[in-house]
Structure 1
Amino acid sequence: MTMISEPDVPAIELGHREAAPGKPSRARLIGVVAVGALLVTAVNVTAAIYLYRGVNDLKTMEARLEQLGQFEQRIGARIDTVNNGFQSRFETLDHQLQTNFGRINGSIAKLEQGQPVAASDPAPGAAEPALLDNTTVADASAADEGAGAGDGQPAFKRKVAPPGPNPSYQRIQQPDGKVYYKKIN
């Protein structure tokens, strides 16, 4: 092969070419691809950070909800305990009321038949307080509380004001069972 060389014409270097008039250069294409990859990487890192935070928040919420479930079970158990206590008290009161209503109905039936109730049906375990001329309100309430204690059922305690130094009423029970209070001066 023969080479023609002219001293006036500049030499062409093989490594450096000019781009064709309608095509972009390779350096520009590589730059655009690199910027795009960097942008996608930044979006992925940001999404990963928010996803990690969301997962941690979700774990925290699950732990709190689990504690709430345990709290709900404890409260439910305590409410059931209180409810059972009230239910047993209501059943006891209902039984007492039914017993008392039965006694009252029996007494009413005896009265309708003309039988004296006080003479034939004394309250079981109830001692009749003795008729005293100097009986006071405080003594009468103490006697009433003691009267219901022997029948096996709890007596309802009444709130009675404590007697003053000189009680001013006297309790009088007549033979027919009526009780009167007389004011003492």
Structure 2
Amino acid sequence: MTMISEPDVPAIELGHRETVPGKPSRARMIGVIAVGAVLVTAVNVTAAVYLYRGVDDLRTMEARLGELGQFEQRIGARIDTVNNGFQSRFEALDRQLQANFGQINGNVARLEQGQPVAASEPALGAPEPAITDNTTVADASAADQGANAGDGQPSFKRKVAPPGPNPSYQRIQQPDGKVYYKKIN
């Protein structure tokens, strides 16, 4: 390799450099890169901590949701038990009403034939309170006191309704299990 040298040009010293205005120095560039790396590392560490906490909270919620499923099954079983109890009570009441309707229809049929209805037949349902027209509780209690004179037991006289047309009822059971009664004249 050949070197061309000009004697008039001063020699360049390699150890000493002048900085150009507007161009950062090498030390400053390394410092900026180091600060940027520290900031990125701090953001990554913070994100990792929050991610770990979020995952931990998610695991806790999944465990609680698993318990909620078991709780739901227990509540469902109890509701089914209560529903079965109510259904059996409604069925018993339905049978009792059917029996009462049958007894009433039988009594009405006997009355229509002119036969007296036996007063000694036991009532299947609970006794109903007496119905009186244009009386108050005070009037009824005064009448009871006069009639029982020291007995202490109220006596109710039942007003008998005049026989009317024989209404009959049709039992309608829907596919979902609901039972309705429709009055047929």
Normalising by structure 1, what TM-score? 0.56
Distance in 1 separating the partners of 2:22 and 2:92: 103
Determine the structure 1 residue equivalent to 2:70.
70
Cα deviation for residue 25 of structure 1 reads 1.6
Determine the structure 1 residue equivalent to 2:115.
115
Determine the structure 2 residue equivalent to 1:93.
93
Determine the structure 2 residue equivalent to 1:82.
82
Letter aligned with residue 73 of structure 1: Q
Distance in 2 separating the partners of 1:106 and 1:117: 9
> Which sections of structure 1, spanning at least 5 residues, go unmatched?
1-11, 124-146, 159-166, 171-185
Cα deviation for residue 157 of structure 1 reads 9.6
Distance in 2 separating the partners of 1:82 and 1:30: 77
Determine the structure 2 residue equivalent to 1:168.
151
Cα deviation for residue 14 of structure 1 reads 4.6
Task: Percent identity, please.
Answer: 76
> Which sections of structure 2, spanning at least 5 residues, go unmatched?
1-11, 129-149, 154-185
Identify which range, 108-117 or 15-24, moves more after superposition.
Answer: 15-24
Distance 1:75 1:157, change over 3 A: farther
Q: How does 1:1-185 map to 2 (within 5 A)?
A: 14-15=14-15, 17-118=17-118, 123=121, 168=151
Distance in 2 separating the partners of 1:34 and 1:53: 29
Cα deviation for residue 15 of structure 1 reads 4.7
Letter aligned with residue 168 of structure 1: D
Distance in 2 separating the partners of 1:169 and 1:109: 38
Distance 1:40 1:76, change over 3 A: same
Letter aligned with residue 83 of structure 2: N
Determine the structure 2 residue equivalent to 1:140.
none
Paired positions, count: 125
In structure 2, the residue corresponding to 1:82 is in which secondary structure? helix
Distance in 1 separating the partners of 2:26 and 2:102: 110
Superimposed CA distance per residue, residues 30-70 of structure 1 (whole angstroms, 9 cap, x where no aligned partner): 11101100000001111111111111111111211221222
Distance in 2 separating the partners of 1:36 and 1:157: 93
Letter aligned with residue 151 of structure 2: S
Letter aligned with residue 76 of structure 1: G
Normalising by structure 2, what TM-score? 0.56
Distance 1:61 1:157, change over 3 A: farther
Q: Which runs of 4+ in 1 moved over 3 A?
A: 12-22, 155-158
Letter aligned with residue 106 of structure 1: G
Distance in 1 separating the partners of 2:109 and 2:23: 121
Superimposed CA distance per residue, residues 66-106 of structure 1 (whole angstroms, 9 cap, x where no aligned partner): 21222122111101110111110110111011111101110
